[in-house]
Amino acid sequence: MEWSLRELRFFVTAAEAGSFTDAAAQLYVSQAAVSRTIAGLEKTVGDRLLRRVPRGCELTITGQQVLPHARRVLSEAERFTEFLTSRHGVLRLGYAWAALGRHTARLQREWAQRHDAIELQLVRHNSPTAGLAEGRCDVAIVRRPVDEKRFDSLVVGLERRLVAFASDDPQWSRRRRLSMAEIADRTVIIDPRVGTTSSQLWSGAEHSPRFIESTDVDSWLDAIAAGRGVGTTAEATAHHHPRPGVTYRPIKDGPRIPVTLAWWHDHHPNGLGDLVDAITQLYAGA
């Protein structure tokens, strides 16, 4: 069973105009072309969609059923066309938990000032590739390794690792810095899909923490604020997600977290080189 967008467009236009003649005028074709095209759609459907009446045409019962679906398909097709037309003028930058922390706003402002032809859009998507594998973005900010067989990547900066804990924690509330060993004595809340914390951080230590899992940054913060555990995260999280009841402090011996940009091997979006340079400079000047 095959149908075309042309057939749907002719059918919807005729149905809304109530006349083959008026539809032909709107579509800039002949009345015969309208009749012939709609007849082709009716053959595919297996039933009449429009019946001729003295003043034009009207929907059959089948036509009434088909019309809303045809409208939705045409609407989706129009949105897809708009996407294809505008995609070269938009650079979508994906992230899962935090974008670039305190550098995010500056990047957006400076990009808008320097790039009239390419709009930078930030897209949050909670997946290991921050929406890259899902087609949600053109370039992704990631803080964990990506599949080198599918993606190109480049480290653009390093961030301190912080510990997040409940602000009323009786032991830590007045501490300015903490250690990995101290964190190992606590329950640590992790997001195993996109987070940067795992048991490997304590692989050479005497013991490792007990872990419980969260599903995203919001549930992670809620659990920490409630005192269910603590967490370790990149410095950007503290800037991107300040939360009442949650305190962030540096980990004095915590390994730095690489900030990486990733993109598909076979797709180098417009503006990629400028984006890499801009973010690298922001981290270099930190």
Share of the chain above pLDDT 70, in %: 98
Residue 156 tokens read as: 């653009």
Q: What is the dihedral of CA 36, 37, 41, 43, to 10 degrees?
A: 20
CA distance 251 to 179: 5
Mapped onto helix, strand or coil, the DSSP state of residue 197 is coil
Residues 76, 80, 272: CA angle, nearest 5 degrees: 150
Residue 274 — pLDDT band, cuts 50, 70, 90?
Answer: very high
Does pLDDT of 87 surpass 80?
no
> Is the Cβ–Cβ distance between 224 and 230 less than 8 Å?
yes
CA distance 21 to 5: 20
Q: What pLDDT, on a 0 to 100 scale, did the predictor assign at position 86?
A: 61
Residue 2 tokens read as: 């095959």
Residue 278 tokens read as: 């801009």
Strands 231-234 and 161-166: antiparallel
Give φ, ψ of 245 to 5 degrees: 90, -5
Give φ, ψ of 101 to 5 degrees: 60, -130
Per-residue pLDDT, averaged over 77-106, amounts to 85
Per-residue pLDDT, averaged over 160-187, amounts to 96
- Edge-first strand order for the sheet with 161-166 is 231-234, 161-166, 246-250
Does pLDDT of 33 surpass 70?
yes
Does pLDDT of 82 surpass 80?
no
Angle, helix 104-114 to helix 272-284, in steps of 10 degrees: 140
Q: What pLDDT, on a 0 to 100 scale, did the predictor assign at position 15?
A: 93
Does pLDDT of 260 surpass 80?
yes
Q: What pLDDT, on a 0 to 100 scale, did the predictor assign at position 1?
A: 65
Q: What pLDDT, on a 0 to 100 scale, did the predictor assign at position 149?
A: 93
CA distance 66 to 41: 11
Does pLDDT of 85 surpass 80?
no
Q: Which of 78-82, 161-165, 244-248, 275-279 has the lowest mean pLDDT?
A: 78-82
pLDDT tens digit sequence for 8-23: 999 999 999 999 999 9
Residue 79 — pLDDT band, cuts 50, 70, 90?
Answer: confident
pLDDT tens digit sequence for 222-237: 999 999 999 999 999 9
CA distance 212 to 185: 14
Mean residue pLDDT across the chain? 93
Can you give the pTM of this predicted structure?
0.70
Amino acid in the structure at residue 20: F
Q: Between these two residues, 207 and 61, which has the higher pLDDT value?
A: 61
CA distance 58 to 66: 13
Share of the chain above pLDDT 90, in %: 84
